[in-house]
Amino acid sequence: MKNRRFFLILSFLSNMLIFVMAFYAVGMSFRHQGRAEFGGSGFITFRFFTTDSNILAGILSLIAGFTGLRALVRGEDRLPAFAVTLKYIGAVAVSLTFTVVLVFLGPVFGYGSMYLGSSFYMHGVIPILTLVSFIAFDRGQRLPKRTILFAMIPVVLYGIVYFTEVVLIGQARGGWKDFYGFTRGGCWWLSLILCFGGAALLAVLIRLLHNACEGRKEKNS
């Protein structure tokens, strides 16, 4: 019982930290501290999946934190199922941000510019902390396979918006600039496949890691 509550305390503390850091970093980005490589200050920063995924992870971590605190007050030893699922959605979103920067944006724009100012938090610290928190501390349930589909919702929604603004409308007609460079050479379809496929793979791997750790915690309880 004490061991279970210890994990719940760590979950609460880490989730509160993620929330504070996420909105601190978004505030920095809004003031143009760390988004110069994309020319994104002010409200333009909300066009970036980096910003949106960090906001999502921050809000869902706050929900997980409050439900964890409520569980502690009630003498319970785990998060409710819905809180674990919500945190999983946020973890997948920021993991995609982390991965895209690591394997695509870093080589294209330079890793130095990818980790300056607010980007240091949103591209690195917050995704890593969210993953560690979710896999190691957020104890509640093993995630069923259907939650993979839930985790894909933010990625698909953003992909639809980005595709519409960049490809269907285009910058010349008032749409967004292709700030990620996904349509270079007319290969937007390849970028779409890689992003959606990569997000699905991350969702599967994160679910497996969480469930494996959940199983070990059950045995050690």
**pLDDT tens for each residue of the chain, 221 residues long:** 567 788 899 999 999 999 999 999 999 888 865 444 455 567 888 889 999 999 999 999 999 999 999 999 998 888 999 999 999 999 999 999 999 999 988 888 888 888 888 899 999 999 999 999 999 999 888 999 999 999 999 999 999 999 999 988 988 898 888 887 777 766 777 878 888 999 999 999 999 999 998 876 555 55
Q: H or E stretch including 197?
A: helix 188-220
Helix (H, G, I), strand (E, B) or coil at 35: coil
Neighbours of 183 (CB within 10 A): 18
Q: What sign does the dihedral 133-140-88-55 (CA atoms) show?
A: negative
Domain hosting residue 23, numbered range: 2-220
What are the residue ranges of helices labelled H in 74-146? 81-100, 106-109, 111-114, 118-120, 126-132
Q: What are phi and psi of 5, to 5 degrees?
A: -70, -30
Q: Could you tell me which of 8, 10, 45 has the C-alpha nearest to residue 26? A: 45
Domain count, the chain: 1
CB 113 within 8 A of CB 173: no
The set of residues, in sequence order, having a beta carbon less than 8 Å from that of 18 and lying 6+ positions away, is 57, 58, 61, 126, 129, 130, 133
Q: What is the DSSP letter of 187?
A: -
